[in-house]
Amino acid sequence: MRKVAEVMVALLIGILSSINAETDPTDASLLNILYTSLNSAPQLTKWSSNGGDPCGELWTGITCSGSRVTGINISGLGLSGNMGYQLDRLTAVTTFDISNNSLGNQIPFQLPPNVQRLNLAGNGFIAGLPYSISQMTSLKYLNVSHNQIQGEVTVSFNSLTALSTLDFSFNSMTGNLPQSFQSLASMTNTYLQNNQFTGTIDVLANLPLENLNIENNQFSGWIPEQLKSINLQLNGNLFNSGPAPPAPPGGPSARQPQRNPQSGGSSASLTSGSIGSGGSKSGIGPGAIAGIVISVLVIGAIAAFFIIKRRSRKSSTDVEKLDSLPFAPLDSQEVQGVKSVQTSSTTSETPAVINLIPPPIDHHKSFDDTDVSTMPVLPPKKTNTPPINAKFFSVADLQIATDSFCVENLIGEGSIGRVYRAHLDDGKVLAVKKINSSLLSKTEDFLNIVSEISRLHHPNVTELVGYCSEHGQNLLVYEFHKNGSLHEYLHEVDENSKPLIWNNRVQIALGAAKALEYLHEVCSPSVIHKNLKSANILLNMELNPHLSDCGLASVIQEPDQASGYIAPEVAMSGQYTIKSDVYSFGVIMLELLSGRKPFDSSRPRPEQSLVRWAAPQLHDIDALSNMVDPALNGLYPVKSLSRFADIIALCVQPEPEFRPPISEVVQALVRLVQRANMSKRTFRNEGVGRGGSSDAETP
């Protein structure tokens, strides 16, 4: 009886405490995940991996407002592990400080979306900044200093107008400063020291900066005049010490200052005269009079200069007007990400594209106020044809090259259209995709699509060579990959074909994942593929994968539910996202592992859908060895196989929010390849095969 009463009391307390829990259950569960990802570190006192009440129980570093978690400050606690991959659901968090710990690898794509203070400094982060930062419009303080972040900054700063402090110092960042820095209208403190940045610092010229440290980089060119009056630290760069470039900011030569450093004597007097900041504060004397005379002359010269400039601007072409707009008409970040955006190779009608890089904005010196107000807000004459960086082919050209689209040259057929092999006169072989005309309502739509595709450049994305839009025909011309598609490799096997060995399979998965990472996280806006399947992964002679049909999402109408690649939420709602791409990618990995088709009606019913059959067994080593492609003949490292299966399991989860971003898949595959290389010797000796239960990596 007493026992029962005790149990009742305990239950009651339990119920009461859970009723009284102050914390929003979603926030609490996300902190549970974070705790687990941080290896359940004991320094995180009160934290739990399951349930609990972070706000009510005063978990270390957690601050709340009402029931929502608004702040996470777990700085300097000696934490290791990672940040997990669901922080983007912590929508009320405004402060996130995980600085001065030992977290490694990649900064996750998912970060609290409404964060104002984000401090990731002093960890071991390596890979680049996640593109998701571009969308954090509330961000005021961003600190990633003292990591080992490499590569160019591919984040777009166009929307980060609240950002006032940015600290990138002590990393290994390279490349030029992104043009989108120009949009940082609130930026007062910028720390870029001790990186390997190159190019000029012109994009910073017109920001409301107070403190700027750019020491120990490889910046070159001239220091913009506007920055000479702020607290500027610039030692250890390659700046030009000669006289400043002749024209004022906004003029054509400010953009390319290296061109002719010393043209025009008037510019020399401009810098050496009394205009230079902090110059002559001397009292009145004979020298001062001479100074005043010189000043008058100099001011006169400046006035004359601007009057002339104004005249010449009035008579300038539309192109120049477009060029002198404060903000570029195209998202300059896209230019960053897709480097080789160029003008059309076929026409000279779209010269506006040449000047994709906008000139610096000049808030301080608005000599030209009147001109600004009369400037058009949009490009005055927008040509109908979007910029296309691809060759134009005529229907006649392609008819000849494909033997009038004869059946012998037909190499594929999908929902979008047929693909033909084309032999050009110069001996080149190309693949021509004829888009079903029912999928396109207007020629303009097609040209827009071509324009989009022509901007995609990645070693694992099939390169668009040209296009044709004539007589109601719309065709895309691509590079040709002799080895056909992964689909053919896996599923159209005959006695002559060589099966893919395990390492090839991992490499193909990695290359394809990198292509997808480029589309999702480098391109801006993100490109959703929508049609990932093994038939769209083309292999070259070295079996390097090339993802095809990128940028064709808009012509895909109905999800092909029977294909086996479609994520469950797409089947239900028709809504494609980057996470539905990740699902389809997981299915491709499953194909690589099992050698089976995603949907195979020739198999017994429970095995027809590959995901449904395989997903429940992915964590079971014994089941895995039965699932693996028999064509491998048992030749695979067991550990590699099981890690590969773990990645698949994450990708094909039914809930899209639990699937990792593709960049994490890339990282996981990179680690898998690295480990495979490290343990190659051991693995030769003992670790091969389904019989080999020995772990190739444990010493």
Ligand X SMILES: *[C@@H]1O[C@H](CO)[C@@H](O)[C@H](O)[C@H]1NC(C)=O
Contacts of 325 (CB under 8 A, 6+ apart): 358, 375, 376, 379
Helix (H) or strand (E) holding 70: strand 68-73
Helix (H) or strand (E) holding 682: helix 680-682
Task: Output 146 or 255, the one with its CB closest to ligand X.
Answer: 146
Residue of 212, 156, 152, 143 whose CA lies nearest to 184: 156
Helix (H) or strand (E) holding 672: helix 662-678
Q: How far is the CB of 655 from ligand X (least distance, A)?
A: 31
Q: What are phi and psi of 423, to 5 degrees?
A: -105, 115
Count the residues in the chain: 699
Q: How far is the CB of 166 from ligand X (least distance, A)?
A: 8
Q: How far is the CB of 268 from ligand X (least distance, A)?
A: 38
Q: How far is the CB of 183 from ligand X (least distance, A)?
A: 20
Q: How far is the CB of 198 from ligand X (least distance, A)?
A: 23
Task: Output 106 or 190, the one with its CB closest to ligand X.
Answer: 190
416 with 515: CB under 8 angstroms? no
Task: Output 78 or 286, the one with its CB closest to ligand X.
Answer: 78
63 with 39: CB under 8 angstroms? no
Q: How far is the CB of 9 from ligand X (least distance, A)?
A: 39
Q: How far is the CB of 115 from ligand X (least distance, A)?
A: 10
Task: Output 171 or 474, the one with its CB closest to ligand X.
Answer: 171
Task: Output 192 or 615, the one with its CB closest to ligand X.
Answer: 192
336 with 151: CB under 8 angstroms? no
Tokens of 518: 């480029």
Instruction: Report the alpha-carbon distance of residue 364 to residue 357 in Å, rounded.
Output: 21
Helices (H), 524-661: 568-573, 578-594, 610-614, 621-627, 638-651
Going 20 to 22 to 28 to 31, the CA torsion angle's sign is negative
**Strand pairing report for 68-73 and 104-105:** unpaired
* DSSP E strands, 525-584: 537-539, 545-547
Q: Cα dist. 444→385, 431, 432, 469, 556 in Å?
A: 8, 23, 20, 10, 17
* CB count in 10 Å sphere of residue 635: 13
Q: How far is the CB of 95 from ligand X (least distance, A)?
A: 5
Helix (H, G, I), strand (E, B) or coil at 372: helix
Task: Output 118 or 618, the one with its CB closest to ligand X.
Answer: 118
Task: Output 234 or 325, the one with its CB closest to ligand X.
Answer: 234
Q: How far is the CB of 117 from ligand X (least distance, A)?
A: 5
Q: How far is the CB of 53 from ligand X (least distance, A)?
A: 22
**Strand pairing report for 165-167 and 189-191:** parallel
Q: Which amino acid is at 93?
A: V
Task: Output 167 or 225, the one with its CB closest to ligand X.
Answer: 167
Tokens of 490: 């896996």
Q: How far is the CB of 76 from ligand X (least distance, A)?
A: 3
Q: Which residues bind ligand X (CB under 6 A)?
A: 73, 75-76, 78, 95, 97, 99-100, 117, 119, 121-122, 143, 145-146, 165, 167, 189, 191
Which residues pair with residue 68 across a beta bridge? 65
Task: Output 230 or 247, the one with its CB closest to ligand X.
Answer: 230
Q: What are phi and psi of 7, to 5 degrees?
A: -60, -40
Instruction: Report the alpha-carbon distance of residue 343 to residue 359 in Å, rounded.
Output: 18
Tokens of 682: 């051991």
Task: Output 191 or 478, the one with its CB closest to ligand X.
Answer: 191
Task: Output 117 or 455, the one with its CB closest to ligand X.
Answer: 117
Task: Output 119 or 454, the one with its CB closest to ligand X.
Answer: 119
Q: How far is the CB of 165 from ligand X (least distance, A)?
A: 5
